[in-house]
C-alpha cells in the first residue's frame, strides 16, 4: 500500500485544548484585547519599554511553557510512528508537536519558538525559562547578559519576516504532499496560509479542520467543523488505515 506524504499545517486552534488561547477565534486574544497585539509587534516591542514589560508579564502569566500536548498533537505523532510520511508545518510557537513525539527534523516552525530568547543586538540565544526566572526575581525587562541588548522570544513578531529557508522548505513540502491538512488555522496570516493553496495547486487533497470558515474552504476537498480534539484523531486514523481518499 502506497503511503501518502501528509503535510499538517497547524494553527493556534490545535493547542487550545492544551490551555493555550488562540488569537482570532470567538474567544481569541486579539478580539478580547486588540491592544495585546502590540505586545508581539516588533516596532512597538523594540521602541517602548512599557510594551516590553507588559509582554514579559504576559509570558510569565500565560503558563504556556507548562502546557502539555493534547489528543490532536498526539494523533499526528502516532500517525508518523505508524510509518506514514508526515511533515508538520506549524504556525504555533509552543513546541507541543515535538513534546508529543514528532521528530524535530519533521517539524517546521514557521513562526519560530517561544521556548527560547534571542538578543536583538548580538543575537545570543538562551532558554526562555532562564529569562522568565529573571522576571520572577524582579527584573521587569531582562536584557542580554552578553551585551545589554533587548531580549525577545525567538518568535516571528508582526513586522518581522519569516525565515526564508524554513518557508522554502515548507513550500517544497506543500508542493510534494498528497494530503494537506490545515488544522486550527484561520488561514488568514500569510505567507503561511498560502501553503494551503500551493498544495491544492499541485494536486494535493486539501482538508480543513477548523471551527470557523477560512478563505480556502471553497478549494478544500473536505471541510470539518467538529472539535479538533476528536475530529483530527479520527481523520488521521482514516489516513493511517489507507482510506485517506474517502470523504
Q: Are residues 191 and 230 in the same domain?
A: yes
Query: Is 43 domain-assigned?
Result: yes
Last residue of one domain, picked from the residues 155, 171, 187 = 155
**Residue-number span of the structural domain to which 119 is assigned:** 31-66+113-155
Query: For the chain, how many structural domains are there in total?
Result: 2
* 97 given a catalytic annotation: no
Residue entry with cell 488562540: 22
Contact in structure between 206 and 182 (CB atoms under 8 Å): yes
Candidates 97, 111, 123, 202; catalytic one: 111
What whole-number percentage of the chain has pLDDT above 90? 80
pTM score: 0.89
Q: Are residues 90 and 139 in the same domain?
A: no
Q: Are residues 107 and 118 in the same domain?
A: no
Contact in structure between 3 and 83 (CB atoms under 8 Å): yes
Query: Is 147 domain-assigned?
Result: yes
Contact in structure between 195 and 174 (CB atoms under 8 Å): yes
| Strand order through the sheet with 6-10 | 107-109, 86-90, 6-10, 179-183, 205-209, 222-224
Q: Are residues 206 and 225 in the same domain?
A: yes
Q: Are residues 14 and 130 in the same domain?
A: no
Reported as a single tens digit per residue, the pLDDT across 37-89 is 889 899 999 999 999 999 999 888 877 788 999 999 999 999 999 999 999 99
Reported as a single tens digit per residue, the pLDDT across 185-204 is 999 988 999 999 999 999 99
Question: Is pLDDT above 70 for 118?
Answer: yes
Four-CA torsion 165, 208, 80, 78, nearest 10 degrees: 140
| The pLDDT value given to residue 65 | 82
Assigned C-alpha cell, 13: 486552534
Q: Name the band, by pLDDT with cuts 50, 70 and 90, for residue 247.
A: very low
CA dist 179 and 21 (Å) reads: 27
Last residue of one domain, picked from the residues 124, 155, 186 = 155
Q: Name the band, by pLDDT with cuts 50, 70 and 90, for residue 167.
A: very high
Question: Is pLDDT above 50 for 246?
Answer: no
Q: Are residues 90 and 197 in the same domain?
A: yes
Contact in structure between 224 and 235 (CB atoms under 8 Å): yes
Amino acid at each position: 500500500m502506497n503511503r501518502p506524504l501528509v503535510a499538517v499545517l497547524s494553527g493556534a486552534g490545535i493547542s487550545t485544548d492544551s490551555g493555550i488561547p488562540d488569537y482570532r477565534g470567538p474567544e481569541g486574544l486579539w478580539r478580547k484585547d486588540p491592544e495585546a497585539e502590540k505586545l508581539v509587534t516588533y516596532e512597538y516591542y523594540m521602541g517602548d519599554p512599557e510594551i516590553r514589560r507588559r509582554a514579559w508579564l504576559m509570558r510569565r502569566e500565560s503558563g504556556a511553557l507548562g502546557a502539555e500536548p493534547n489528543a490532536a498533537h498526539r494523533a499526528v505523532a502516532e500517525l508518523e510512528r505508524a510509518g506514514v510520511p508526515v511533515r508538520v508545518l506549524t504556525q504555533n510557537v509552543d513546541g507541543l508537536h515535538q513534546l508529543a513525539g514528532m521528530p524535530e527534523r519533521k517539524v517546521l516552525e514557521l513562526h519560530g519558538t517561544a521556548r527560547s530568547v534571542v538578543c536583538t543586538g548580538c543575537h545570543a540565544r538562551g532558554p526562555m525559562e532562564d529569562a522568565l526566572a529573571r522576571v520572577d526575581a524582579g527584573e521587569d525587562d531582562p536584557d542580554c547578559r552578553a551585551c545589554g541588548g533587548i531580549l525577545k522570544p525567538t518568535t516571528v513578531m508582526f513586522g518581522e519576516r519569516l525565515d526564508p529557508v524554513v518557508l522554502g522548505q515548507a513550500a517544497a513540502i506543500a508542493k510534494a504532499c498528497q494530503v494537506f491538512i490545515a488544522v486550527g488555522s484561520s488561514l488568514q496570516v500569510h505567507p503561511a496560509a498560502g501553503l494551503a493553496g500551493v498544495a491544492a495547486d499541485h494536486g494535493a487533497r486539501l482538508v480543513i479542520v477548523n471551527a470557523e470558515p477560512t478563505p480556502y474552504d471553497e478549494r478544500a476537498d473536505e471541510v470539518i467543523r467538529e472539535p479538533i480534539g476528536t475530529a483530527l484523531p479520527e481523520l488521521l486514523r482514516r489516513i493511517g488505515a489507507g482510506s485517506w481518499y474517502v470523504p
